């Protein structure tokens, strides 16, 4: 079996805010990554990365040993700054967000983006720290595509935009 590298980078984060929030910025701290894998099962097969950074996968996906840090599975981390220290900040991901990553004739779908919340995976409330910053952890699900006959070796890279609504 050949190894398959798969990485996805959270490059673009946009959010909606009222004019009073015009000084709020978003910066990626850690890209979302699904790690090295071999797809052995018929589609659909899934890998889920939680906002906390844990991972589960279906039996038809074999994860290769964690190697270089760039090839490990990781949750995405985004830093929002410019809030009043101590402010309650509610962040909502607009759904559905689905991204197709294509290499040759093979593709994966990335969907079900989630935030680190105990009650609603699409909405989380944070308290801005002393510098007016909020750290948002993001998870997602990778799904193999039924149309893919096989997956070739190498990285599958992509970008996606998450629309975050910020209220505070």
Ramachandran category for residue 105: left, alpha or beta (phi over 0 → left; psi -120 to 50 → alpha): alpha
| pTM tops 0.75 | yes
- DSSP-assigned states of every residue in 66-97: P-SGGGSEE-EEEEEE-PPTT-EEEEEE-S--
Please give the pLDDT value at position 16: 43
Ramachandran category for residue 112: left, alpha or beta (phi over 0 → left; psi -120 to 50 → alpha): left
Please give the pLDDT value at position 73: 86
Which residues, including other chains, have CB under 8 Å from residue 46's CB and lie 6 or more apart? 57, 58, 61, 141, 142, 143, 144
Name the β-bridge partners of 127. Answer: 88
Please give the pLDDT value at position 72: 79
Please give the pLDDT value at position 58: 95
What is the full per-residue pLDDT of the chain (168 aa) written as tens digits?
A: 333 333 333 333 444 444 455 588 989 999 888 888 888 888 899 999 999 999 999 999 988 776 555 457 899 999 999 999 999 998 888 765 677 777 777 778 888 888 987 778 888 899 999 999 999 999 999 998 877 667 888 777 777 776 767 776
Please give the pLDDT value at position 66: 60
- Cα separation, 83 vs 80, in Å, equals 8
Strands 123-127 and 55-57: unpaired
| CB count in 10 Å sphere of residue 54 | 11
Name the β-bridge partners of 26. Answer: 80
> 151 and 105 in contact (C-beta within 8 Å)?
no
């Amino acid at each position: 079996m050949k190894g398959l590298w798969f990485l996805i980078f959270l490059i673009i984060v946009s959010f909606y805010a009222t004019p009073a929030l015009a000084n709020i910025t978003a910066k990626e701290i850690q890209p979302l990554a699904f790690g090295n894998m071999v797809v052995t099962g018929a589609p659909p097969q899934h890998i889920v990365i939680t906002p906390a950074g844990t991972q589960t996968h279906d039996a038809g996906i074999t994860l290769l040993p964690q190697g270089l840090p760039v090839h490990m599975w990781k949750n995405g981390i985004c830093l929002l700054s410019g809030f009043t220290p101590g402010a309650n900040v509610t962040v909502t991901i607009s759904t559905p967000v689905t991204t197709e990553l294509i290499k040759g004739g093979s593709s994966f779908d990335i969907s079900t983006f989630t935030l680190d919340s105990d009650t609603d995976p699409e909405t989380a409330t944070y308290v801005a720290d002393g510098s007016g910053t909020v750290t948002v952890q993001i998870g997602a699900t990778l799904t193999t595509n039924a149309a893919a006959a096989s997956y070739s070796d190498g990285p599958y890279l992509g970008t996606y935009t998450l629309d975050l609504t910020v209220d505070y």
